[in-house]
Amino acid sequence: MIEFKYQCSECSREYNITADIMVCPECSKMQEPDKPLLGILEVVFDGHFHHQPKMSDLLPVEAEYFPKIPVGGTPLWTPANIADELGFPNLYIKDDTHNLTGSLKDRASYLVAAFAKREGIREIVMASTGNAASSMAGVGAAAGLNITIFLPESAPRAKMVQSLQYGANVVLVAGNYDRAFDLSLEFSRKSKNVLSRNTAYNPLTIEGKKTVSLEIYQTLKRSPDFVFVPTGDGVILGGVYKGFRDLQKMGFVDKIPTIVAVQAEGSNAIAKAFKDGGFTEIDAHTVADSISVGIPRNGYYALKQLKQYNGKCVTVSDEEILIAQKELSSKAGLFTEPAAAASYAGFLNMRAEIPNDAIVVLLATGNGLKDIDSAIKGVEFPKKTITSLDEL
Ligand SMILES: *Cc1c(COP(=O)(O)O)cnc(C)c1O
């Protein structure tokens, strides 16, 4: 039998996994405004498997509660033209644009939805800049849950339309993501039987994202050497580490890969803290809206993992992101949103330090059609219309 618990990543206190606990009640008492969350809880497991474990055995919610939808199991493939051109034969893309709603966020929403089903909760509330919202809206729709979303009014329209199409209750906030975050927490505290899916705050958002690492292992049968992770709040980063740490704990892999947090130059809070030690709120600006974050909610936890496992941080400019996006589209046939292309941009910046035979995985975290306004910046529209071929 395997038993799952929450354990505080700071004080190591343990708690049962219930719907009314989100961050460590003790450590979060010291929470300062405008800083990453204190008392991030981690799912830990204890006990022995009596059979060769399946991936679902490593999740804290039983398989029967998950909606029957295609989340995870995404392809890991080599972009041959790029791999040949750069001389990296073992370059892979973990293509999470294939998820139900087109982003990696579905892995977190999937676990949160299953947990809500198990606990008999009918409504989920959250704040998001876009993908987490559209993901919870879509996964929640399939699971028969009511979803309420607090969105900053600047959220890309496609992601807003996606959420509305899925039938979510969308509340537009005159203000930024941080304001939406606070309002959504207030809403979940005031309502009964409502679960928050705020990223990092709900520990299952980190835990759910670990499945991306479990799948990379399932395909490669080993740890890769490098994994490039586009990073905003640092929840995907935390999840990627958690997956490989679980695999190491079970004896499946002997090493944790070198994880590279890729941030935009204009939204580099984690990279900055990695260098100078502390977090100060930044005024985030980048074309990659999904990694545009002033206060990374999972900053302390992400930083601790990066330090402990010799991870790296790399920053990329908006121009480099847009060039990387266009290259992935035109050389690999993979149209990603800018945040997702950041992992490739980060690899291009760092590749001189990486041995050519290294196994390198780039996380492609979101589909390009989610943010057309940014993608337009990387292309030129035809300047004129024609009436006959003679005009070509
Ligand atoms: C959310 C998101 C990220 C960043 O994840 P964090 O957990 O905020 O670091 C990267 N790419 C895409 C497409 C996302 O939706």
**Helix crossing, 235-249 with 106-119: angle to 10°?**
70
Atom of ligand 1 nearest to the CA of 366: 13
Buried residues in 39-65 as b, exposed as e (16+ CB within 10 A)? bbbbbbbeeeeeeeeebeebbbbeeeb
**CA 386, chain centre distance (Å):** 44
Residue 164 lies in a domain: no
Closest-CA residue, ligand 1 atom 7, reads 235
**Model pLDDT, residue 48:** 78
Residue 372 lies in a domain: yes
> What is the CATH number for 313?
3.40.50.1100
pLDDT tens for the 392 residues of the chain, in order: 789 999 999 999 999 999 999 999 999 999 998 999 999 999 999 887 777 778 888 999 999 999 999 999 999 999 999 999 999 999 999 999 999 999 999 999 999 999 999 999 999 999 997 899 999 999 999 999 999 999 988 888 888 999 999 999 999 999 888 889 889 999 988 988 999 999 999 999 999 999 999 999 999 999 999 999 999 999 999 999 999 999 999 999 999 999 999 999 999 999 999 999 899 989 999 999 999 999 999 999 999 999 999 999 999 999 999 999 999 999 999 999 999 999 999 999 999 999 999 999 999 999 999 988 888 988 899 999 999 999 98
Tokens of 381: 């529209």
Cα of 103 from ligand 1 centre, angstroms: 9
Mutate to test the pocket of ligand 1, among 96, 177, 181, 291 (most ligand atoms within 8 A of CB): 291
Buried residues in 264-280 as b, exposed as e (16+ CB within 10 A)? bebbbbbbbbbeeeebe
**Model pLDDT, residue 77:** 98
Residue 320 lies in a domain: yes
Residue 253 lies in a domain: yes
pLDDT digits (tens, 9 = 90+) for 79-138: 999 999 999 999 999 999 999 999 999 999 999 999 999 999 999 999 997 899 999 999
HEC string of 297-357 equals CCHHHHHHHHHHCCCEEEEECHHHHHHHHHHHHHHHCCCECHHHHHHHHHHHHHHHHCCCC
Closest-CA residue, ligand 1 atom 13, reads 366
Tokens 């502390």 -> residue: 278
Residue 227 lies in a domain: yes
Bridge partners of residue 362, in order along the sequence: 93, 228
**Helix crossing, 131-143 with 106-119: angle to 10°?**
40
CA gap 233, 209 in Å, rounded: 13
Residue 228 lies in a domain: yes
Atom of ligand 1 nearest to the CA of 297: 8
**Measuring CA to CA, how many Å separate 258 from each of 10, 14, 282, 306, 314?**
23, 29, 27, 9, 13
Instruction: Give the global pTM.
Output: 0.97
Mutate to test the pocket of ligand 1, among 97, 131, 177 (most ligand atoms within 8 A of CB): 131
Asked whether the beta carbons of 162 and 370 are under 8 A apart, the reply is yes
Structural domain span for residue 273: 76-102+206-376
Tokens of 83: 């791999």
Mutate to test the pocket of ligand 1, among 177, 212, 233, 334 (most ligand atoms within 8 A of CB): 233
Cα of 264 from ligand 1 centre, angstroms: 12
pLDDT digits (tens, 9 = 90+) for 325-373: 999 999 999 999 999 999 999 999 999 999 999 999 999 999 999 988 8
Atom of ligand 1 nearest to the CA of 296: 8
Cα of 290 from ligand 1 centre, angstroms: 5
> Which residues make Cβ contacts (< 8 Å) with residue 301, sequence separation at least 6?
9, 36, 40, 42, 200, 206, 234, 238
Give residues (CB < 6 A) around ligand 1: 103, 105, 131, 230-237, 290-291, 337, 339-340, 365-366
Residue 28 lies in a domain: no
* Residue 61, CB-side half-sphere exposure with 13 Å CA sphere: 23
Residue 392 lies in a domain: no
How many other CB atoms sit within 10 Å of the CB of residue 145? 22
CA gap 91, 79 in Å, rounded: 7
Domain tally, the chain: 1
Task: Indicate the length of the chain as a whole number.
Answer: 392
Q: Which run of H or of E encompasses 24?
A: none
CA gap 85, 392 in Å, rounded: 32
